[in-house]
Structure 1
Amino acid sequence: MKSRAGWGPRLATGLGWGGLALASWGLCLVVLQGLFGQQIEALQTVQLARELALNVRLTELTLERYPPDLVSELTGLDLAVRPRPPAAPAPSLAMQRQAEALQQQLCERLAHCPMVQASARGRMAWIELISPLEPVWLRVQLRSPMAWPPEPTLLGLSLVGAAVIWAGLFLLLEVERPLRGLEKALRLVGDGEDPAAVPARGAPEVQRLTHRFNAMVRRLAANRQERATMLAGIAHDLRAPITRLQFRLSLPELNADERERCANDLQALERITGQFLLFAGGNDAEEPVDLPLDQLLAEVSSSHSSELLRLDLEPVPIVVRPVALGRAVANLIDNAFTYGEPPVVLRLRQQPQHCTVEVWDQGAGMASHQWDRALQPFQRLDEARGQQGHCGLGLAIVAHVAQLHGGSLLRLHGEPPTAPGRFGIALTLPLPRNG
């Protein structure tokens, strides 16, 4: 239904431009006929005189032996026997001029100068023939410069003129005017403002350009909002550990417990800073590398004991950004240990067109209505998690890395022993196509 509805405006636009093309062609044809009417009339008179000169000569020779009715029947010429042409309304000055020009041309081509009389009825001309017995007149049709079909030369010139007019109007209405709106919106973007969405009008190419410009403006607005949120999150999340460090460093003497707490705060600061840098796109420019994914996952998980983290990996060759993907999987493992219950299971499975990296734990996980919120940056399901160096970027970073690789992030639920855990998160990655 939607595609059918889209055909209505397109059909109306096509009919409008088609009507404009026909109107432009008719206008050009009328203008050219008005400008070059006399020249065309002169050329038509010369051509008509050339054809009539031979007919007049042959007809006069034939009338010496045969009657006019028989000659008219044999030749198909319109002959009339009468002393003078029939009375008719007075011809116009243009017809009289055309008849005089025809007479002049015939006088140049014949041995004698025949009489030519114009008739306003039907744009006719009567030519007097030499006959030995009775007066005979030949009736011929005078062609008008405005007659149809037009002269081929005028027809071609009018088509060229109509094409120029149509192209000029098309560029003005369908290209130049929409591009002017885009230029105005670009000026606003350059001045740091957020322009409203530009209406998609004009030629299909201009409409596609407008859609892409609107998408770019939306992305820029989202990036600005995300940047503002990230800066606010940095200020919020770094304030608490920095305050604690300042307080402890102001003490005259630090005992072992205070040193351990300072070390924990420093680790929290390092973790928060690393997550912010990763979320800010620090590895977006990393070049993809062809490597065995199972070995990369084994290296990422090597810092955990085999009792707490179990590996179930299939050999999968793939092209990935290893640093970004390694940090994303490390985030999933860290979240599983922090918010779930051990043992954690890291599983890698290969499908026909993609592979799946699954991280399972034995905890209750999160409710389905919390999943979309958990994927947003700086969203904590538990506000107390910020005290452990968590700033609400873990799953947002993983989702960003998945999108960077053309994959996705899924929420899983299971029940042992059919599943390796009670709650899991799956990171799907597309496999390279063969050939």
Structure 2
Amino acid sequence: MRIGGGWSQSVRSLLGWSGVAIGCWGLCLLALQALFGRQIEGLQSVQLGRELALNVRLTELALERYPPHLVSELTGLDLAVRFRPPMEGSASPFLQRQAKVLQHQLCQRLAHCPMVEASGRSRVVWIELISPLEPVWLRVPLRSPMAWPPEPTLLGSSLVAAAVITGALFLLLEVEQPLRRLEKVLSRVGEGEDPEAVPARGAPEVKRLTHRFNAMVQRLAATRQERATMLAGIAHDLRAPITRLQFRLSLPSLSVAERDRCANDLEALERITEQFLLFAGGGDGEEAIELPLDQLLAEVSSSHSSDQLHLDLEPMQILVRPVAISRAVANLIDNAFSHGSPPVLLRLRRRLDGCSIEVWDQGDGMPADQWDRALQPFQRLDESRGRQGHCGLGLAIVAHVAQLHGGTLSRLPADMNGEDCDSVGGRFGLQLLLPFPLKG
């Protein structure tokens, strides 16, 4: 059934485009006849005048010895014996011009200049012949600009024009529009969304590309779901031993040294579990709300002492996802204390199109060629920190939150810290840009 449906759809498409091609050919032929039919018939009138000159001369010689009806039967010419030709309505200006062209050609090629009269209704011209006994007129029909079959030149030109127009329409409707629709959906996939399947429309090649794209999107969605499920499951499984460790630490039988070691291990497990949960959740389903961002950042940094973490927050209202932003800023602060040296500066500044959140420390920072690697999940520039509860998800979570808000995460050199640089001593900074319109 599927194969038959595909064949029937292909046949309908072929018949439809064949009808479009025939319609374009008819329209192009009419347009060319309207535009160039007059010029072509003017040239044909010149050629007809040359041919009629010989017929007129031979007919006049024959009329000197034979009657008109016999000459008409022998030559096949339409001869009429009368003083004036029958005028069937007034001739159009173009028909009159044709009659003058014919008369001019005959006058150039004959010893005398015959009279040429145009009859409008039947599109004919009457040419007066020299006869010794009675007046004789030669009836010559003229071709209409819209006559069928059309002139070969116009016919060929219209076929070429129809082929070009049909090809352009095919590329526009069957290739360009489906590819543009596919491009829009692809941009949504690049932004982390899971769009619905794209309808397979257009040329067969575009349909095959659409089917493969839909299959890719389904695989990406399944992989993302499996990753989130796996990370959530790992984090959930780690919760149980963490709880048991906390219970054992509360027992009085442990020595102080063992209790400190267990506490350090427990803190590392909690940090790893929290990072897994943050990376698995990602904050994608959180609704954005308008809030005072400076107060939110002050609350996030409240666990650090004022001599270790300096705050420089400009009051502002902005539309953000509060939980995701809190996690991202907390990761930046933790990254500054873990990889840099205190004191740390947390700065919030207003911009024309949003705001800038900067975290500065006194460390040496990281090389520029390792920045892209640092943003990848489970990548640790310092492998020794894996034993301290660092699983390489901190900056990856911040980059994901920035992308979720339509912003960016970037590194800042020391010369960018123009404010309070001497008092704080910031040497390396990370900047989170949120390009949302400010509300206050």
TM class, shorter-chain normalised? 0.5 to 0.7
Q: Which runs of 5+ in 2 are unaligned?
A: 256-440
Q: What is the letter of the counterpart of residue 25 of structure 2?
A: W
Give 2:216's aligned residue: 216
Give 1:176's aligned residue: 176
CA contact (8 A) 1:129 1:136 kept: yes
Q: What is the letter of the counterpart of residue 174 of structure 1?
A: E
1:133-144 alignment, distance < 5 Å: 133-144=133-144
Q: Does 1:39 align with 2:35?
A: no
TM-score, normalising length from structure 1? 0.54
1:102-181 alignment, distance < 5 Å: 102-181=102-181
Q: What is the letter of the counterpart of residue 200 of structure 2?
A: A
TM-score, normalising length from structure 2? 0.53
Query: Which SS does the other structure have where 1:36 is aligned?
Result: helix
Following the alignment from structure 2 to structure 1, what is the Cα–Cα distance between the partners of residues 26 and 163?
A: 12
Following the alignment from structure 1 to structure 2, what is the Cα–Cα distance between the partners of residues 21 and 189?
A: 37
Q: What is the letter of the counterpart of residue 12 of structure 1?
A: R
Q: Does 1:48 align with 2:52?
A: no
Q: Deviation at 1:194?
A: 0.6
1:229-308 alignment, distance < 5 Å: 229-237=229-237
Give 1:189's aligned residue: 189
Q: What is the letter of the counterpart of residue 235 of structure 2?
A: A
1:13-28 alignment, distance < 5 Å: 13-28=13-28
Following the alignment from structure 1 to structure 2, what is the Cα–Cα distance between the partners of residues 231 and 160?
A: 62
Post-superposition CA distance 1:311-341 (Å, at most 9, x none): xxxxxxxxxxxxxxxxxxxxxxxxxxxxxxx
CA contact (8 A) 1:81 1:137 kept: yes
Q: Deviation at 1:187?
A: 0.6
Following the alignment from structure 2 to structure 1, what is the Cα–Cα distance between the partners of residues 120 and 140?
A: 12
Q: Deviation at 1:82?
A: 1.7
Q: Deviation at 1:46?
A: 0.8
Q: Deviation at 1:116?
A: 0.9
Following the alignment from structure 1 to structure 2, what is the Cα–Cα distance between the partners of residues 143 and 87?
A: 18
Following the alignment from structure 2 to structure 1, what is the Cα–Cα distance between the partners of residues 68 and 148?
A: 32
Following the alignment from structure 2 to structure 1, what is the Cα–Cα distance between the partners of residues 247 and 88?
A: 122
Query: Which SS does the other structure have where 2:113 is aligned?
Result: coil
Give 2:359's aligned residue: none
Q: Which runs of 5+ in 1 are unaligned?
A: 254-435
CA contact (8 A) 1:80 1:137 kept: yes
Q: Deviation at 1:125?
A: 1.1
Query: Which SS does the other structure have where 2:198 is aligned?
Result: coil
Q: What is the letter of the counterpart of residue 108 of structure 1?
A: Q
Q: Does 1:64 align with 2:68?
A: no
Query: Which SS does the other structure have where 2:235 is aligned?
Result: helix
Q: Does 1:226 align with 2:226?
A: yes
CA contact (8 A) 1:44 1:143 kept: no
Q: What is the letter of the counterpart of residue 212 of structure 1?
A: R
1:261-410 alignment, distance < 5 Å: none
Following the alignment from structure 2 to structure 1, what is the Cα–Cα distance between the partners of residues 192 and 89?
A: 79
Following the alignment from structure 1 to structure 2, what is the Cα–Cα distance between the partners of residues 232 and 36?
A: 76
Post-superposition CA distance 1:68-93 (Å, at most 9, x none): 22221111111112222124222222
Q: Deviation at 1:247?
A: 8.9
> Which one is further off, 53-62 or 156-165?
156-165
CA contact (8 A) 1:85 1:126 kept: yes
Post-superposition CA distance 1:211-266 (Å, at most 9, x none): 1110000000011111122223333556667888999999879xxxxxxxxxxxxx
Post-superposition CA distance 1:106-137 (Å, at most 9, x none): 11121211111111242111111111222111
Q: What is the letter of the counterpart of residue 150 of structure 1?
A: P
Following the alignment from structure 1 to structure 2, what is the Cα–Cα distance between the partners of residues 183 and 4?
A: 30
Query: Which SS does the other structure have where 2:196 is aligned?
Result: coil
Q: Deviation at 1:100?
A: 1.5
Post-superposition CA distance 1:344-397 (Å, at most 9, x none): xxxxxxxxxxxxxxxxxxxxxxxxxxxxxxxxxxxxxxxxxxxxxxxxxxxxxx
Following the alignment from structure 2 to structure 1, what is the Cα–Cα distance between the partners of residues 40 and 125?
A: 18
Query: Which SS does the other structure have where 2:128 is aligned?
Result: strand
Query: Which SS does the other structure have where 1:128 is aligned?
Result: strand
Following the alignment from structure 1 to structure 2, what is the Cα–Cα distance between the partners of residues 233 and 124?
A: 95
Following the alignment from structure 1 to structure 2, what is the Cα–Cα distance between the partners of residues 159 and 225?
A: 55
Query: Which SS does the other structure have where 2:132 is aligned?
Result: coil
Following the alignment from structure 2 to structure 1, what is the Cα–Cα distance between the partners of residues 206 and 19?
A: 22
Identity of aligned residues (%): 75
CA contact (8 A) 1:125 1:141 kept: yes
Post-superposition CA distance 1:43-84 (Å, at most 9, x none): 110111121111111111122222222221111111112222
* Aligned pairs, number: 253
Q: What is the letter of the counterpart of residue 104 of structure 1?
A: H
Q: Deviation at 1:12?
A: 3.1
CA contact (8 A) 2:88 2:122 kept: no
> Which one is further off, 225-234 or 168-177?
225-234
CA contact (8 A) 1:124 1:140 kept: yes
CA contact (8 A) 1:89 1:119 kept: yes
Query: Which SS does the other structure have where 1:118 is aligned?
Result: strand
Give 1:325's aligned residue: none
Query: Which SS does the other structure have where 2:179 is aligned?
Result: helix
Q: Deviation at 1:209?
A: 0.8
CA contact (8 A) 1:24 1:165 kept: yes
Give 1:86's aligned residue: 86
Q: Deviation at 1:9?
A: 3.5
